[in-house]
Amino acid sequence: MKVVQKWLKASLPCVLAFGIPLTCAADTLSNIKATQTITIAHRESSVPFSYLVDGKPVGYSMDICLKFVDAIKKELKLPQLKVNYLPVTSSNRIAAIIDGKADMECGSTTNNAERRKQVSFTIPHFFAAARMVVRSDAGIKNWPDLKDKKVVTTKGTTTVKLLNDRDKVRGLNVRFLEGSEHAESFSMVEKFQADAFVIDDVLLYGLRANNANPDKFTIVGDALSTEPYAIMLRKDDPAFKDLLDREMAKMMNDGDVTKLYDKWFKKPIAPKGINLNMPMGFLLRDNIRFPSDKVAD
């Protein structure tokens, strides 16, 4: 009862005014302290960022968020802090944060200008880039090598527009094909039906790692786009964001983020023991050296 009373005292001004629900500046730390509970939103199949193993959410982003939980406990002087988990999808993850169903979202969410109108983000912990997977013996190293080649993209993605917008394939006489989903697109390269498959590089590394003969494929090409992944928070809560940003910067300076990256991207991971063998990109390396939440849109 005392915990409930404390929570009501901290939250009531943000819940009702003249009997009408209102949205106001969040006070996440006060609510966490009053309830001694934090809720983490997570994905169920976003390997290796946030996914389920034996029903438990694990992954690179999850490990970072659990470090945040330790920092919150220390900041609020809470010896115990209950962690609740809320599964979310790409379509409801933003609403889960805005509506207060979760205090942070730990998955593979891109920080961009449109989303920052609704939510806030920590310092990025990963940068995805649109690149291509090719057969290792194809002789393709970069976009100019695609002249007169067949390039597959997955139906419903914006890769074709991205390629054209970035002026990478104009004049190369590229023939575009479509796969119904990522696995089929990758299979088309494997079966010599396409010369390259273009999509976010982290997805390509995962597809290659799950193939029976991963050494037969190589991820190549300069980055066509940059997708900064970050932990999503409620907007207008500077105290909470500042605490997590300070912890992220500390983890970067102390080498913890590099260790977690090696754990999830360069070593075998559960449940099948696959190894993505994905080297750290230069954008993340630079952000670890000089931590910042500023991203290019």
Q: What is the pLDDT of residues 288-297, one digit of tens each?
A: 999 999 998 7
Confidence (pLDDT) at 277: 93
Report the chain's mean pLDDT, rounded to a whole number.
Answer: 89
Candidate CATH numbers 3.40.50.300, 3.90.1530.10, 3.30.2090.10, 3.40.190.10; the one for domain 129-226: 3.40.190.10
Across 60-64, 167-171, 203-207, 287-291, least confident range? 167-171
pLDDT at position 10 over 50: no
Query: For a pLDDT cut of 90, what percent of the chain falls above it?
Result: 76
Q: Where in the chain is the domain with CATH 3.40.190.10?
A: 2-125+230-289, 129-226
- The CATH number assigned to the domain with range 2-125+230-289 reads 3.40.190.10
DSSP the chain: -HHHHHHHHHHHHHHEETTEE------HHHHHHHHTEEEEEE-SEETTTEEEETTEEESHHHHHHHHHHHHHHHHHT-S--EEEEEE--TTTHHHHHHTTS-SEEES--B--TTGGGTEEE-S-SEEEEEEEEEETTS---SGGGGTT-EEEEETT-SHHHHHHHTTSSTTS-PEEEEESSHHHHHHHHHTTS-SEEEEEHHHHHHHHHHSS-GGGEEEES--S-EEEE--EEESS-HHHHHHHHHHHHHHHHHTHHHHHHHHHHSS-BTTTTB----PPPHHHHHHHHS-------
